[in-house]
């Protein structure tokens, strides 16, 4: 037989082996909030290293509501959320579990960190348009404050409204509405003198100015003692109880390695509990 024949057979064998291997890979797709996007992408990477037969896709944010809708319409067995389920969602047969908590923080793109603390009254004044210059807030230049806000119903905005009642009373919010956490971060990073709010789990390392609120820093210690009250839950939602690899991935987040990843993303692990 010719050398060419053996080459052809070898190529066919390798192609068949590759195709068989590719077909054996299990792919999980977990849509939902952007608040846990970075954290879960790293967790998925480490899970895949331990389970090479699995690939986990953490796609771009569609929000907690978008994730919940995908579970309800049967498009996904599991989704990412950053809030508790409301009564209607629970009545529709949904359950959830929290794997971590992270502070919601106000950040800005400022030169030389010319301001580093805001009172709740100053936050309300910025978002109502009463304070429009950074000079009013510290040793900053007399430059216009550009304001990034989130849409009504966003998890971080709901938390701020619950903790700062005057924020919710603002009739016409200043600035622009941004519709995802990753986009909010990109806009603040790309535009000097812009302020916005987002979960600390999205920052990890960033040149942005991170504000304390009423002289309270968003540290793990202040989160544990609840001195810093702006904290959201990061979790999953489902309709049918997770099984198989989905359940394994959830359990991985409660393992020592998973909890280490949670800590490195400026969040604290939640105590393990059954779905609610």
pLDDT tens sequence across 215-268: 999 988 898 888 999 999 999 999 999 999 999 999 999 999 999 999 999 999
Domains 25-101+233-269 and 103-224 in one fold: yes
**H or E stretch covering 31:** none
Confidence of residue 52 (pLDDT cuts 50, 70, 90): very high
Query: In this predicted model, which residue has the larger pLDDT, 18 or 111?
Result: 111
Residue range 48-64: mean pLDDT, rounded:
96
What pTM did the predictor assign?
0.85
| Domain 25-101+233-269 CATH class label | alpha beta
Each domain of the chain, given as residue ranges in start order, spans 25-101+233-269, 103-224
Residue 135 has pLDDT above 80, yes or no: yes
**Alpha carbons 139 and 27: distance in angstroms, whole number:** 51
Task: List C-alpha distances in Å: 212 to 120, 147, 148.
Answer: 10, 18, 18
Beta strands of the chain (E only): which ranges? 26-29, 54-57, 79-81, 95-108, 117-118, 146-150, 176-178, 194-199, 209-210, 212-213, 231-238, 268-269
**pLDDT of amino acid 138:** 86
Using CB atoms within 10 Å of the CB of residue 117, give its burial: 0 to 12 exposed, 13 to 18 middle, 19+ buried. Answer: middle
**pLDDT of amino acid 203:** 86
Nearest CA-CA partner of 101 in 34, 200, 184: 200
**Alpha carbons 167 and 105: distance in angstroms, whole number:** 15
**pLDDT of amino acid 132:** 97
Confidence of residue 275 (pLDDT cuts 50, 70, 90): very low
Q: Select the CATH number that applies to the domain covering 103-224 from these four: 3.30.70.940, 3.40.190.10, 3.10.105.10, 3.40.50.300.
A: 3.40.190.10
**Alpha carbons 67 and 29: distance in angstroms, whole number:** 11
**pLDDT of amino acid 11:** 46
């Amino acid at each position: 037989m010719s050398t060419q024949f053996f080459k052809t057979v070898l190529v066919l064998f390798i192609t068949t082996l590759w195709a068989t291997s590719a077909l054996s890979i299990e792919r999980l797709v977990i849509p939902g909030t952007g608040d846990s996007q970075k954290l879960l992408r790293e967790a998925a990477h480490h899970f895949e290293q331990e389970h090479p037969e699995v690939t986990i896709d953490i796609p771009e944010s569609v929000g907690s509501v978008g994730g919940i809708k995908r579970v309800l319409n049967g498009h996904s067995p599991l989704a990412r959320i950053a809030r508790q389920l409301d009564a209607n969602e629970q009545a529709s047969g949904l359950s959830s579990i929290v794997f971590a908590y992270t502070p919601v923080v106000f950040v800005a793109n400022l030169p030389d960190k010319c301001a580093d603390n805001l009172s709740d009254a100053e936050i309300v004044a910025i978002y109502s348009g009463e304070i429009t210059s950074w000079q009013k807030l510290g040793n900053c230049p007399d430059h216009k404050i550009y304001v990034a806000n989130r849409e009504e119903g966003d998890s971080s905005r709901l938390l701020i409204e619950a903790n700062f009642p005057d924020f919710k009373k603002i009739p016409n919010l200043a600035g622009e509405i941004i519709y995802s956490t990753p986009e909010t971060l990109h806009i603040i990073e790309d535009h000097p003198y812009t302020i916005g709010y987002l979960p600390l789990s999205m920052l990890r390392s960033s040149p942005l100015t991170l504000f304390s609120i009423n002289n309270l820093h968003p540290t793990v210690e202040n989160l544990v003692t609840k001195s810093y009250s702006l904290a959201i839950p990061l979790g999953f939602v489902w309709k049918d109880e997770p099984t198989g690899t989905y359940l394994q991935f959830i359990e991985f987040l409660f393992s020592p390695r998973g909890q280490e990843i949670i800590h490195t993303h400026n969040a604290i692990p939640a105590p393990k509990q059954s779905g609610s």
